[in-house]
Structure 1
Amino acid sequence: MTNKTCGADQVTGMGRLAGKVAIVTGAGQGIGEAIARAFAAAGAKVILTGRTLEKIEAVAAAIQSDGATALAIKADAGNANEAAMVIQRAVDEWGRIDVLVNNAHSFTDFLPLEDPKMEANCKVDLQSAFFGSLQMMQAAFPHMVAQGGGSIINFGSDFGIRCEPGFLAYAASKEAIRALTRTAAREWGKHNIRANTILPRAMSPKALWYLEETGTHDAELARVALGRFGVPDDIAPTAVFLASDDSAFVTGQTIGVEGGVTMF
C-alpha cells in the first residue's frame, strides 16, 4: 500500500471533492490506490475496482478506517458487462457519477515487432486499456449527461510518444487512449463532461526490476529532469485537481506527471 501522506489535507485539499462520487479502476495498488485514497481524503465517495478482490477490499478498508467512504467491486477492465455493472452500482448506491478514473491496464512484456505473437499482445493491451476505458466511459455517459457534467481521467504513457523498441502493444494502446480522450472532450464538452489524460511516471516493483534487468536504469533516470523516479503519491494530486471544480475549464489535455521526461 502507499503511505498515508496522499490522504493528508495539505496534499489533496480537504473537502475539495466533497459530495462527489468517483470510480477508480485498478485501485488495488500503485497509482490507482494512491488516487482512490486521495479522492476519499478530499471528500469523495469512491468505488474501487480491480481483478483481485482482496487487494481492493484492503484499500477500501484503509479508506474506511480513516472515516471516508469506499466500496470495493471486483471487475476486469475490458469486460463490457462488468463495466456496466460497476456504473450501475455507483448509481444505485449514491445516485450519480462525478468522476471516472480509467487506470486499469494489463501489461504485456517486451516483444520485438517481428515476433508472431505481436498481434496477440496488441489485442491484450487494447482490450484492457483502450476498450476498457471506452466501455466505462460509454456506461457513465448518460448519467453524467443527466446530472449536468462530470470529469473523466484517462492514463497514457510517455512510451506511447517515445515508441521505445519492444513496447508496441503498450505504446499503441496508450496513444489510442489519448485519441479517445480528445474525442470525448470534443464530443461531450457540450454536456459539460471533461476528459483529460495523465502521463504518469511512478515506478512499480516490476518496472524497477525491468530497468535493472535490462541495464537501462541509469539511462531512464537521466531522462527525468527532476532527477528521480516518481511514486504513486506524486500522481494523486494532479488527479484530484482534474476531478475537482478547480479544473472546470480544462479538457482534452495531456498532462505529464513524470518529472519532465516529456515536455509539450
Structure 2
Amino acid sequence: MDLQLAGNTALITGPAKGMGAAITLAFAKEGCNLALIGRDVAAIEPVAAEARRMGRTVTVATCDLTDTEHCQAVVDAATSAFGRIDVLVNIAGGAGPMGKTGWETTRHEFDEIVTLNMAGCFNTMRAVLPGMIARGEGRIVNVGGTFGMRGRAGRMAYSASKWGLRGMTKSMALEAGPHGINVNLVAPGMVAGERFRTKVLPTLAAKLGITHAEAETRHAEEYALRRITEDADVANACLFLASPVARQITGVDLPVDGGWAAL
C-alpha cells in the first residue's frame, strides 16, 4: 500500500535513539523530509545523517519541550525552512520513578514526569496547529504507553502522565477535526529495546532465578500474540496514523503490545 507520505514534512520529537530513531527513519523511508528536535543535537545527528543518505532534507534543532516559547520558536523555524509541517510525531518522553508507590513518590518526581510527558506534547501541538488549521489539513501522532490504558503498580506518576496524554489527544481531535486535522495516539507496550535487554530482563531473571531467555518467555506469555513488540511495530503504527490513508481515523488510542492492554 502506498501511504501517500512522500514529499510530506514531518516534525518529530525525541528522534535520537531506540524507538524514536526507528520511527524517524521509517518516515524517511516513506519519503518524508524531517524536522528533528530534542535536547541533545549531537545524539540526533547520526539519525539525521542516515535520513540524508536516503535523499531526504533534514533539519536538526535543540529544544526544551517543556518551554512553550522555545517550542514555538523551533516550530516557526521549521515551518520557515520547509514551508509547512504536514505531520507532527511526539515521541519524546520520560519514564519517571519506578518501583515507587503513589505515597512514596515525591511531588517533584510527579511534577517532572507529568510536565515532560504532557506539557511537552501540548507545547508542540499548540505550535503546529495554527499552520495546519490555516491549510485545512494535518496529522498528529502522540506516542503514549499501555500503562496509560491499564495503569501499573509502582509506575503511578508515569501512568498518570500517559492517561493525561490520552485525554489531551482526544480533546484535540475533537477541536481540530472540523479543520481537517487528525489527532491520534499510539500506545506501545514493552518494546524489545536496550532497556528491555539490559534492565527489564536481568531484573526479572534475578528475581525469579531464571535465565534471560526464560525471562523473555515469561514476558511474552503475558501477551495474546506471545511475542514482544519490536521498534518496527510501533513505527508502522505511527506511519499508518500519520498518513492520508488513515483520513477517517481520529481520536483513537492504538495499543501496539501484542494484546496486553486491550484484551
What is the identity percentage for the equivalent residue pairs of Structure 1 and Structure 2? Answer: 32
> In angstroms, what is the RMSD of aligned CA positions?
1.7
Cα deviations by residue, 1:195-248 (Å, 9 ceiling, x for unpaired): 101011323322441343144845432212222212211111111111111000
Q: Which of 95, 100, 103 pairs up with 1:114?
A: 103
For residues 126 and 103 of structure 1, what CA distance do their matches in structure 2 show? 15
Q: What are the within-5 Å matches in structure 2 for residues 193-232 of structure 1?
A: 193-201=181-189, 202-208=191-197, 209-214=199-204, 215=207, 217=215, 218-232=217-231
Partner residue, 1:245: 244
SS of residue paired to 2:34: strand
Partner residue, 1:6: none
Q: Compute the displacement of 1:69 (Å).
A: 2.0
Q: Compute the displacement of 1:103 (Å).
A: 0.8
Q: Is the contact between residue 104 and residue 129 of structure 1 (CA under 8 Å) also seen in structure 2?
A: yes
Partner residue, 1:167: 155
Q: Is the contact between residue 49 and residue 75 of structure 1 (CA under 8 Å) also seen in structure 2?
A: yes
Q: Is the contact between residue 103 and residue 154 of structure 1 (CA under 8 Å) also seen in structure 2?
A: yes
Q: What are the within-5 Å matches in structure 2 for residues 16-95 of structure 1?
A: 16-95=4-83
Alignment-mate amino acid for residue 246 of structure 1: V
Shifted more, 145-154 versus 70-79: the winner is 70-79
Q: Compute the displacement of 1:49 (Å).
A: 1.5
Tell me the matched-pair count. 251
Q: Compute the displacement of 1:72 (Å).
A: 1.5
For residues 231 and 183 of structure 2, what CA distance do their matches in structure 1 show? 21
Partner residue, 1:256: 255
State the TM-score, normalized to the length of structure 1: 0.89
Q: 4+ runs of 1 displaced by more than 3 Å? A: 214-220
For residues 243 and 35 of structure 2, what CA distance do their matches in structure 1 show? 17
For residues 146 and 138 of structure 1, what CA distance do their matches in structure 2 show? 13
SS of residue paired to 1:228: coil
Q: Is the contact between residue 66 and residue 115 of structure 2 (CA under 8 Å) also seen in structure 1?
A: yes
Alignment-mate amino acid for residue 7 of structure 2: G
Gaps of 5+ in 1: 1-12
Cα deviations by residue, 1:48-84 (Å, 9 ceiling, x for unpaired): 1122111111100011112222221121322212211
Q: Is the contact between residue 148 and residue 159 of structure 2 (CA under 8 Å) also seen in structure 1?
A: yes
Shifted more, 166-175 versus 69-78: the winner is 69-78
Q: Is the contact between residue 19 and residue 193 of structure 2 (CA under 8 Å) also seen in structure 1?
A: no
